[in-house]
Structure 1
């Protein structure tokens, strides 16, 4: 008989007692908090886990009014593990490379951009290279910035993993950082070389500017361009001593030689007076320039300067306006170069110049007399012990020149000048043998101003000797009167005023006549002259009074042998 199919029965065995629940074990690897979950995975804490029954009130069919049972709070995420120190060192060194690569290593792009901007600003400030270098403030600020950026990158590298491309090549990070640290070092060397070249160019430009000052001074007097010459010399001294090893510094000795040739050019052209200040300056160069720069220039100006002082001093002695300067040149020669052969030639040269002037007295006496006075000023400023005899000879030549000048003026009918010259001669040389003639020439010239006939011949120095015809001169006028006469003899007499005498009227009735000196003879002041026979030109000079002006009246008198003469001097007036 067929059996009924058997239905398997489940056997029930007793359940073992519940074992105590153990807390869930953490996964074998620490969670990565920044890992991205797969798509569709709900974020933690926002719903049941996949496959779990939704809690009431939080899903379909749930009880909206029921609250899930409170569970234990989730533990805080643990801090990220520290990164190796080598990463911090690499990030710091890379930030010191001027390129902000430490921030690039850590994917800190804002910091990297800030580093790039600071580096660009430094490059703009540094280029082109300046001889004075980068401004100290900019360089110090950038250095502080780099140190701060390096410290910040090192700090961040201890907490932040490297970029994936760097993490895969961790062994190369530190060597790369050390290699890139050579970038700022090499940049510093390159900038230093560029700066050195800029310094060289600046020195060469300064040298060229000094050379131009020297060139511009050629052909001009030293005193007018002295400031430019001295400025060039200061530049040579500074470059040649403080920058002796530079290209410009090595050129300075040749420039000093060219400087000497330019400044001393007047001496080469025998323009001795212009050469004196230039050579005096060149002789002082050892006190201005370093000895290593002078070369053969030192002492070279001594003999040319001595010669120039001699030639200029003796050549301008007596020249108008140069009397003092010529003496200054000769005194400088005698003081600075007393043993020079030129110093021994001064006195003979001046004596020869005096002889030349003496010869000129017969040709142009007045001009030569003035020249001799200026020459005397020069000689008088020289040391008296050595030049006193020459000074006395010059004085004698001046005396001869003054007399010759007065005679020449009289002959040329320059009577006013002759009067002044001869009167000065009488006053300056009272003991001279020519004084008497000079006095007579002055008298004759004064008469000739009113009566040209008196200038017919130069009067001699003869004076009345008591022989000849008698002429009694009386004054019938209110003031003192002076009578000048010239002819065979020349002289003058002065008669005092006549007390009580008055001027005669100048307008007389028809047929009227002035009866001068008609009163008692004793009334009129008198002077007696003894005149050799001949024709005389006379001039009556009556000084002005409170009631009358000065009077000059010329007349002619002919003295003949065997006669005596009277001459009554009077004055007429319109209101007499």
Structure 2
């Protein structure tokens, strides 16, 4: 019996079959390595499984940014290599199952639905992740607005700006998203939160937030904002008026700024129409206060109203004429009220202030009040040297039946001031042949100025009534000389002489 030939080491290669090669390639494109399974290439099948598992670990859960480009490109290369290699290996290798290549090809085409379906599912998952991320940004912006509303606008301005940037980005760059669809409602809440001081009646505190809201159209178009674009206008106009009116009726100085903003920004608004009447009312109140307990305060107020109303009228628009008229009334009333102020200062013993006030008033005024203002200014100057002279307010009375002669035994021109039953002043020229006495001269026995019969002393005689008259002799043209004073009790039946002279003490 002839010997049996040895068994071959491996099955003989099958005849080439392009359909079988195509079927294995398609099966490997599914990412499941099934082509290698049918070829019994278990290591390569496992490599396909690992590549798919790695991709799933990287891709899941779905991220708004999607799968990293490097990972996706690497996986595609692995699939293409597996398909090409599987097709090449299957060209001459029989399949374990199914035995017919057309059936394997049909199965490969069917299993291509796996990566296709996975891609579509992942796209939807990624879109949902994007939506959730945008909603997360929206909710964080909402929380920032809510937290900012618990603090002052100045402290929260940056947070409001950041939240607005988010709303704008969602509305402009992510239109159609669920988050963008909610932006209009969020903007209404945003406006109410920023403008909350107005709703609470804090008009001064509402000005800056409302001004800020008027800048929002610079970030978001008016088309997107709708009615919100004009939402702050009426509220800001009202706030500017109410805050300005409060400052006008109090001691604040901000009313000019607020009223100026109102007239310049909303000239045709209802609040703007109330500015001029409010200023006029303040002028009327100050005019009335001139006759009250604090006329000087009222005069200062009138002068302030005049200055500020003039400044306000420059931007007053339709109210300019009314504001100018109010300013004029304030000036006239302030100038006239200075007389009452001077009297009040005199009565309060503020003689230096009273002198200046009455001198300024007399320089502007006319009539009987001017004459008395001059006398009160003289009395106030005397009272600064002799306080007792300020116990009674000077009158316009003049003259008297008792002669008083005042002589000047001084080389300097002097002004003689006197007040008492009558008040007045006059000037005496210096005595050309006279000199200033030394302190030693005044101590010598028989010292008696104005007694040299050989000198022609400049002099003047006035008539005074009975009573106490206070004299002050004030040298003219020298700041180093100090005035001298004398108190004369004038009685009938006497002729009085006053002598003015200069003494030099310690070099002065």
**TM bucket normalised to smaller:** 0.7 to 0.9
The residue aligned with 2:378 is: 443
Q: Measured at CA, do residues 472 and 447 of structure 1 come closer, stay the same or move farther in structure 2, by a change above 3 Å?
A: closer
Which residue number corresponds to residue 83 of structure 1? 16
Taking a change above 3 Å as real, the CA distance of residues 218 and 277 of structure 1, as seen in their structure-2 partners, is: same
Query: Higher relative CO (CA 8 A, sep ≥ 6), structure 1 or 2?
Result: 2
Contact kept in structure 1, 2:407 and 2:459, CA below 8 Å: yes
1:364 to 294, 298, 307: 294
Match 2:352 to one of 407, 411, 416:
416
Cα deviation for residue 244 of structure 1 reads: 4.5
Give deviations 1:154-176, integer Å, cap 9, x for gaps.
Answer: 34444x625x5346464543233
Q: Secondary structure at the match of 2:134?
A: helix
Give structure 1 stretches of 5+ with no counterpart. 1-30, 37-78
Deviations 1:222-280 (A, max 9, x none): 45534433333333333245444333233223223323332333333333333344444
Q: State whether structure 2 residue 67 is matched by structure 1 residue 134.
A: yes
CA contact (8 A) 2:283 2:330 kept: yes
Q: Report the Cα offset of residue 288 of structure 1.
A: 4.8
* More off after superposition, 431-440 vs 382-391: 431-440
2:333 maps to which residue?
A: 397
Deviation per residue, 1:493-542 (Å, 9 max, x gap):
45566667554333579763544345566576x35252422422233445
1:472 alignment counterpart: 406
Residue number in structure 2 paired with 1:350? 279
Query: What pairs with 1:275-290 in structure 2 (closer than 5 Å)?
Result: 275-282=206-213, 288-289=219-220
Unmatched tracts of structure 2, length 5 or more? 1-5
Q: Secondary structure at the match of 1:165?
A: coil
1:395 positional shift: 0.9
C-alpha spacing 1:81/1:337, structure 2 compared with 1 (3 Å):
same
Residue equivalent to 1:189: 120
1:541 and 1:552 in contact (8 A); partners too:
yes
**Max Rg structure:** 1
The whole-number CA distance in structure 2 between the counterparts of 1:87 and 1:32 is 27
Whole-Å separation in 1 of the counterparts to 2:7 and 2:299: 124
Query: Distance between the aligned counterparts of 1:245 and 1:431, measured in 2?
Result: 80
Richer in helix (by share): 2
Question: Larger deviation: 98-107 or 227-236?
Answer: 98-107
Q: Report the counterpart of residue 180 of structure 1 in structure 2.
A: 111
- Of 124, 136, 148, the residue aligned with 1:205 is 136
Q: Partners of 1:120 and 1:513 in 2: how far apart?
A: 133
Aligned position for 2:3: none
In the TM superposition, residue 573 of structure 1 has moved relative to its aligned partner by: 0.9
Residue 150 (1) aligns with residue 83 (2)? yes
Structure 1 residues 531 and 34 mapped into 2: Cα distance closer, same or farther (>3 Å)?
A: farther
Quick one: distance in 2 between partners of 1:110 and 1:521?
149
Q: Could you say which residue in structure 2 is the equivalent of 1:40?
A: none
Structure 1 residue 35 corresponds to structure 2 residue 19: no
Alpha-carbon contact 2:408-2:429 (below 8 Å) kept: no
Q: 1:34 to 1:304 in 2, by over 3 A?
A: same
> Which has the larger displacement, 89-98 or 198-207?
89-98
Q: State whether residues 436 and 501 of structure 2, in contact with CA within 8 Å, keep that contact through their aligned partners in structure 1.
A: no
Q: Check if 1:328 corresponds to 2:260.
A: yes
Q: 1:93, 1:178 within 8 Å by CA — same for their partners in 2?
A: yes
Distance 1:377 1:220 in 2: 37
Judge conservation of contact 1:425–1:438 (CA < 8 Å) in 2: yes
Report how far residue 298 of structure 1 moved.
5.3
**1:28-56 CA distance string (max 9 Å, x none):** xxx996438xxxxxxxxxxxxxxxxxxxx
Secondary structure of 1:539's aligned partner? strand
Q: Whole-Å Cα distance in 2 between the matches of residues 82 and 569 of structure 1?
A: 152
Q: CA 1:444/1:150 → structure 2, altered by over 3 Å: closer, same or farther?
A: farther
Query: Are residue 249 (structure 1) and residue 180 (structure 2) matched?
Result: yes
Q: What is the SS of the residue equivalent to 1:213? A: helix
CA distance in 2, matches of 1:395, 1:286: 44
Deviations 1:365-419 (A, max 9, x none): 2222233233223321123434322221111222234333322222122233333
Q: Which residue of 2 aligns with 1:237?
A: 168
Deviation at 1:194, TM superposition (A): 2.5
Count of matched residue positions in the alignment of Structure 1 and Structure 2: 494
Rate the CA distance shift 1:421–1:187 in 2: closer, same or farther, 3 A.
Answer: farther
1:302/1:483 Cα in 2 relative to 1: closer, same or farther (>3 Å)? same
SS at 1:551 equivalent: coil
**Partner residue in 2 for 1:565:** 497
Distance change >3 Å, CA 301–CA 330, structure 1 → 2: closer
TM-score (norm 2): 0.81
Equivalent position SS for 2:321: helix
| Distance 1:324-1:168 versus aligned 2 partners, 3 A rule | same
CA pair 544-292 structure 1, distance change in 2 beyond 3 A? closer
* Mapping of residues 260-279 of structure 1, within 5 Å: 260-279=191-210
RMSD: 3.9
How far is the alpha carbon of 1:456 from its aligned partner?
A: 0.7
Helix, strand or coil at the partner of 2:309:
helix
